[in-house]
């Protein structure tokens, strides 16, 4: 059955929940083209005013980091605690900096 | 760095035991992937087939408002099916193959939807009891170890409580009506109560997938625990609007702080799963017809998109 199936491509959907916030990934869907993907995303992911703006991105266009690289990518941050302000102890007299 | 399967497996077990989430690209045991694909796709199929018994009443709803509400509810079910298919696909399966398995009868869906919706009161009973049981099952799934499934369930649960309330409100209104309307509500409860209790699956001693799924934090509570909660929750709700529970063995048990209730007819349960329920055949035929009738639309959409891409 699979060979003559019209397989619509997969799109990842990002929704801005309200003005001032960034778009956030909400899930994916299938659609024949970008326009239909926006229409479907509206019906599937924003039936209750969950958004004011939608991005759809072909899933195959996304390059993701691999979990096996997570050490190389994210671990070095651990030994650079001085990047956080709390690393530096202030005298009691100085309350805010 | 070469990691053995055994090492990965141990890491995975420890990770899940610490109640952390697994994401699509993380390593996972084949059996974990397989059981999730089975469960999530069955769940998706149930949402899709679940539109049929209620869809039949959209054109016959007793008022314009009830019609609009039912339409919104059925649309939600379609949405839930889509969230879930999308979660299943993150595990590396193709949606078209999942749909094929539903249409060919290879895949299962919740057997509750193989019961007919005979009267308007059935729409009340379905929302109240079937969606009620579904919520009971689904709330713990919001904390399931597989991230995309947990996130889909969070969305579903948020929307589902409207479904249960609209069902109960139909029953409430009928119980304020004429004798015939009250009888209709009681009759719907009588027919849906036992199948609703069967939705929690076989008794703990019989359940095939339970213990491993508990270890993997896919399942949080046993079938019997959730069923007990369903009984304890529903009894006062029925009482409150003057409905009588169709179970002569039902009584409060002070010691266990819950109700004792009658034996479920497991022969019926397995019979419906085996395909011999009242509507199994009709449901699959309707799904297949909808799929076949929509084929030209899917083909046209692809042709249109190809043509536009070619002209770019």
A36 touches chain B (CB under 8 A): yes
Residue identified by tokens 């420890």 is B14
A33:B304 CB<8 A: yes
pLDDT, one tens digit per residue, over B283-304 is: 999 999 999 999 999 999 999 9
Residue of A nearest to B28 (CA): A67
Residue B265 CA from chain centroid, whole number: 20
Q: How far apart are CA A56 and CA A28, in angstroms?
A: 9
User: Shortest Cα distance from A97 to chain B (angstroms)?
Assistant: 36
Chain B residues whose CB is inside 8 A of the A51 CB are none
B94 touches chain A (CB under 8 A): yes
Chain B residues whose CB is inside 8 A of the A43 CB are 75, 79
B138-142, B196-200, B252-256, B304-308 — which is least confidently predicted? B304-308
pLDDT, one tens digit per residue, over B49-71 is: 999 999 999 999 999 999 999 99
ipTM entry: 0.86
DSSP-assigned letters across all residues of B135-202: HHHHGGGGG-SBHHHHHHHHHHHHHHHHHHHHHHHHHHHHHTS-HHHHHHHHHHHHHHHHHHHHTT-S
Chain A residues whose CB is inside 8 A of the B89 CB are 10, 28
Residue of A nearest to B298 (CA): A6
Confidence class for position A67, pLDDT limits 50, 70, 90:
confident
A28:B305 CB<8 A: no
- CB of B143 closer than 8 Å to CB of B206: no
Percent of chain B with pLDDT over 90: 90
Interface test with A, best of B3, B25, B71, B86 (most A CBs within 10 A): B86
């Amino acid at each position: 059955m699979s060979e003559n199936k019209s397989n619509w491509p997969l799109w990842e959907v990002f929704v801005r929940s309200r003005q001032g916030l960034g778009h956030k990934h909400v899930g994916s869907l299938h659609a024949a083209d970008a326009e239909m993907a926006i229409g479907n995303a509206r019906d599937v992911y924003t039936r209750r005013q969950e958004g004011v703006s939608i991005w759809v991105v072909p899933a195959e266009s996304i390059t993701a980091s691999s979990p096996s690289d997570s050490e190389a990518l994210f671990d070095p941050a651990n030994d650079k605690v001085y990047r956080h302000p709390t690393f530096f102890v202030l005298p009691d007299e100085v309350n805010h900096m | 760095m070469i990691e053995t399967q055994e090492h990965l497996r141990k890491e995975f077990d420890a990770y899940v035991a610490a109640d952390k989430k697994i994401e699509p690209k993380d390593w996972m045991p084949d059996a974990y992937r397989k059981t999730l694909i089975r469960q999530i796709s069955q769940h998706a199929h149930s949402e899709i087939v679940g539109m049929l018994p209620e869809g039949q009443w959209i054109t016959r709803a007793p008022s314009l408002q009830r019609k609009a509400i039912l339409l919104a509810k059925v649309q939600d079910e379609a949405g839930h099916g889509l969230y879930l298919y999308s979660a299943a696909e993150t595990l590396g399966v193709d949606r078209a193959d999942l749909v094929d398995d539903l249409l060919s009868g290879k895949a299962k869906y919740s057997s509750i939807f193989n019961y007919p919706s005979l009267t308007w009161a059935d729409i009340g009973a379905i929302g109240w009891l079937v969606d009620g049981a579904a919520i009971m099952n689904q709330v713990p799934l919001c904390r399931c170890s597989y991230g995309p499934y947990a996130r889909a369930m969070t969305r579903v649960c948020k929307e589902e409580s409207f479904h249960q309330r609209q069902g109960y409100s139909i029953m409430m209104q009928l119980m304020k009506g004429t004798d015939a309307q009250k009888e209709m509500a009681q009759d719907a409860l009588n027919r849906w109560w036992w199948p609703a209790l069967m939705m929690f699956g076989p008794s703990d001693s019989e359940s095939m997938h339970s213990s491993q799924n508990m270890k993997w934090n896919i399942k949080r509570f046993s079938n019997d625990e959730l069923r007990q909660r369903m009984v304890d929750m529903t009894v006062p709700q029925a009482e409150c609007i003057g409905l009588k529970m169709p179970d002569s063995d039902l009584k409060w048990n002070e010691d266990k702080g819950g109700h004792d209730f009658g034996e479920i007819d497991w022969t019926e349960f397995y019979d419906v799963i085996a395909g011999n329920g009242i509507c199994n055949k009709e449901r699959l035929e309707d799904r297949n017809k909808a799929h076949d009738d929509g084929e030209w639309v899917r083909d046209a959409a692809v042709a249109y998109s190809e043509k536009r891409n070619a002209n770019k």
